[in-house]
């Protein structure tokens, strides 16, 4: 068993913990804000395929938070040497594990190149390359055994320590302690490895990154849109598997959500729509880079009038734009009721609606949800329906809310419709609301299941 941890965006820790347990059969899974720790004996290639994490580290050690004196610096250095560096044998053993994992990682990369060259008819050249690669890596291993290891320290801190020491001073002090304890050589420009230290009022974590690039970087995303981890979360949070399903994103942009879903579900049919032709062209570029030209279909169309028959879609996944990063030509607060009605219309009974909404649009969604007092015929059936609408109505506290209680959503007609009569749709059941961070702002992933058709509701 090897000890790892991943950094994660705010709100993604729970989903990352679920993913490592499901995909890696990980044990000793523990989450703290911004990080998830776990042990696994899965091969490194599988570990590097995690979709919800940001960066992957080999855990060196994790200790109780340390307290550094403001003065003198020499005394603080002694605390660092004892608490952060600790046992030199642990560092040496962790370095050997890290080196073995790097060998495994490079071998996996070489195997991928070998498969590609076989497809291109260059097998003999690949065999020679393989031999040279392994010989070169063995030589690197001998060199590392014979010479002091070079390193640099990257430190992040918060809380009390951050008010007394800058990250630059802490990095220098930690680096000097490692050099004195282990005899390793400091190299700020081109080190063999990087030591990452995270200090807060609650934690002291030391690790070594395993990859040069973040897990969240997707090689197939030539044009960036929604952050890939959030796009993956929208797929992951769906209540059921989506293989052999028709999946629609009626505001697909550059295709981030559909591409993440396509990575998970190889047998699904994907349809992306958008009014902006330039966005669709970028989506086509991303689809081509991912090698999924035949699996994802694109169509220029408006979400306000989806050109599909009723009940033909198994899942609707949609990042509803709210103008923070990308402009939106639709007045979203006014259009939201009609937009949701169209999505509900094309969704089959038993299908799922997954929306990424801003805090403001999420609050509006709550306001247009009709409780039993607006629909007397369902009063006796939904006596617990106030769980989501009264008392604690902060969406951040509704991670697993009301799984068994259907909700009635009231949509007021769009501005193009003259009637003020509200449109009642009693077919969406709230499943989950999950808060995530988009960097400069927060958002909610809202999940609903369609339990009956709108026509049935209107008949009732």
Residue 140 and residue 132: Cα distance in Å, rounded? 12
Q: What single DSSP character describes residue 197?
A: E
**Structure-token pair, residue 277:** 């032709």
The answer to whether 98 and 210 have CB atoms below 8 angstroms apart is yes
- Cα atoms in the Cβ-side hemisphere of radius 13 Å centred on 150: 7
Domain positions in the chain: 55-209, 228-459
Helix (H, G, I), strand (E, B) or coil at 393: coil
**CATH of range 55-209; options 3.30.70.260, 3.30.360.10, 3.30.2300.10, 3.90.550.10:** 3.30.2300.10
Helix (H, G, I), strand (E, B) or coil at 292: coil
Strands laid side by side in the 204-209 sheet: 27-32, 35-40, 2-7, 56-63, 204-209, 193-199, 150-157, 185-186
CA dihedral 342, 346, 349, 351 (to 10 degrees): -90
CATH superfamily of the 228-459 domain: Vaccinia Virus protein VP39 (3.40.50.150)
Which residue bears the tokens 């570029």?
285
376 in the Ramachandran plot: left (φ > 0), alpha (ψ -120 to 50) or beta? Answer: alpha
Helix (H, G, I), strand (E, B) or coil at 87: coil
Residue 174 and residue 81: Cα distance in Å, rounded? 7
Residue among 251, 247, 250 nearest 262 (CA): 247
Residue 173 and residue 208: Cα distance in Å, rounded? 18
Cβ-count burial 218-255 (b if 16+ within 10 Å, e if not): bebbebebbbbbbbbbbbbbbeeebeebbbbbbbbbbb
Residues 6+ apart with CB under 8 A from 405: 382, 384, 385, 387, 388, 429, 430
Q: What single DSSP character describes residue 313?
A: E
What sections of 147-239 are H helices per DSSP?
Answer: 160-164, 167-182, 228-236
Residue 104 and residue 122: Cα distance in Å, rounded? 23
Helix (H, G, I), strand (E, B) or coil at 443: strand
Distances (CA, A) of 278 to 123, 262, 285, 298: 40, 22, 11, 12
Per-residue pLDDT of 243-256, as tens digits, reads 889 999 999 999 99
Residue 28 and residue 455: Cα distance in Å, rounded? 49
The verdict on whether omega for the bond into residue 72 sits within 30 degrees of 0, i.e. cis, is: yes
Distances (CA, A) of 159 to 13, 25, 198, 377, 385: 21, 34, 11, 54, 41
Would the CATH topology of 55-209 be identical to that of 228-459? no
Other CB atoms within 10 A of residue 274 CB: 23
Q: What are phi and psi of 28, to 5 degrees?
A: 50, 45
Interhelix angle 277-289/256-264, nearest 10 degrees? 30
Whole-prediction pTM: 0.79
Question: What does the pLDDT read at residue 72?
Answer: 63
Print pLDDT tens along the chain (460 aa): 899 999 999 999 999 999 999 999 999 999 999 999 999 999 999 999 999 999 999 999 998 888 888 766 678 888 888 888 989 999 989 999 999 998 888 887 777 666 655 655 554 444 434 444 444 444 444 444 544 579 999 999 999 989 888 999 999 999 999 999 888 999 999 998 999 999 999 999 999 999 989 999 998 899 999 999 999 999 999 877 788 899 999 999 999 999 999 988 888 999 999 999 999 999 999 999 999 988 999 999 999 999 999 999 999 999 998 755 444 556 778 888 888 889 999 999 999 999 999 999 888 777 765 533 334 343 333 333 333 333 333 333 333 333 333 333 333 333 344 344 444 566 788 889 999 999 889 999 999 998 875 455 444 4
């Amino acid at each position: 068993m090897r000890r790892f941890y991943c950094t994660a965006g705010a709100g993604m820790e729970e989903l990352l913990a679920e993913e490592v347990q499901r995909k890696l059969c990980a044990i000793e899974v523990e989450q703290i804000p911004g990080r998830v720790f776990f042990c696994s004996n899965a091969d490194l290639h599988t570990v590097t395929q995690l979709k919800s994490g940001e960066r992957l580290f080999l855990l060196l050690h994790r200790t109780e938070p340390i307290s550094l004196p403001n003065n003198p610096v020499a005394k603080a250095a002694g605390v660092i040497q004892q608490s952060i560096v600790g046992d030199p044998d642990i560092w040496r053993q962790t370095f050997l594990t890290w080196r073995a994992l790097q060998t495994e990682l490079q071998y996996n990369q070489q195997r991928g190149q070998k498969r590609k060259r076989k497809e291109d008819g260059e097998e003999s050249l690949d065999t020679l390359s393989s031999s040279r690669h392994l010989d070169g890596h063995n030589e690197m291993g001998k060199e590392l055994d014979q010479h002091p290891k070079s390193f640099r320290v990257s430190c992040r801190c918060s809380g009390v320590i951050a008010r007394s020491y800058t990250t630059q001073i802490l990095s220098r002090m930690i680096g000097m302690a490692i050099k004195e304890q282990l005899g390793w050589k400091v190299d700020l420009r081109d080190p063999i490895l990087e030591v990452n230290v995270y200090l807060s009022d609650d934690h002291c974590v030391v690790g070594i990154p395993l990859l040069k690039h973040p897990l969240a970087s997707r090689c197939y995303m030539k044009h960036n849109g929604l952050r890939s981890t959030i796009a993956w979360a929208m797929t992951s949070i769906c209540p059921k598997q989506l293989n052999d399903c028709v999946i629609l994103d009626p505001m697909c942009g550059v295709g981030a959500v559909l591409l993440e879903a396509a990575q998970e579900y190889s047998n699904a049919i994907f349809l992306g729509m958008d009014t902006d032709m330039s966005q669709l062209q970028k989506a086509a570029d991303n689809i081509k880079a991912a090698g999924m030209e035949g699996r994802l279909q694109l169509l220029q169309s408006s979400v306000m009038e989806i050109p599909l028959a009723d009940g033909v879609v198994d899942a609707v996944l949609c990042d509803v734009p709210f103008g923070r990063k990308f402009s939106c030509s639709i007045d979203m607060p006014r259009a939201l009721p009609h937009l949701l009605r169209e999505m509900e219309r094309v969704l089959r009974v038993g299908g799922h609606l997954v929306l990424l909404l801003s805090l403001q649009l999420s609050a509006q969604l709550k306001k247009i949800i009709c409780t039993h007092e607006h629909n007397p015929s369902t009063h006796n059936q939904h006596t617990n329906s106030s769980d989501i609408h009264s008392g604690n109505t902060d969406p951040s506290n509704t991670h697993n809310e009301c799984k068994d209680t259907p909700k009635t959503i009231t949509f007021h007609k769009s501005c193009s419709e003259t009637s003020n009569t509200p449109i009642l749709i009693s077919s969406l059941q709230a499943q989950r609301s999950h808060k995530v961070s988009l960097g400069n702002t927060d958002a909610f992933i809202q999940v609903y299941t369609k339990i009956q058709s709108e026509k049935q509701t209107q008949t009732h």
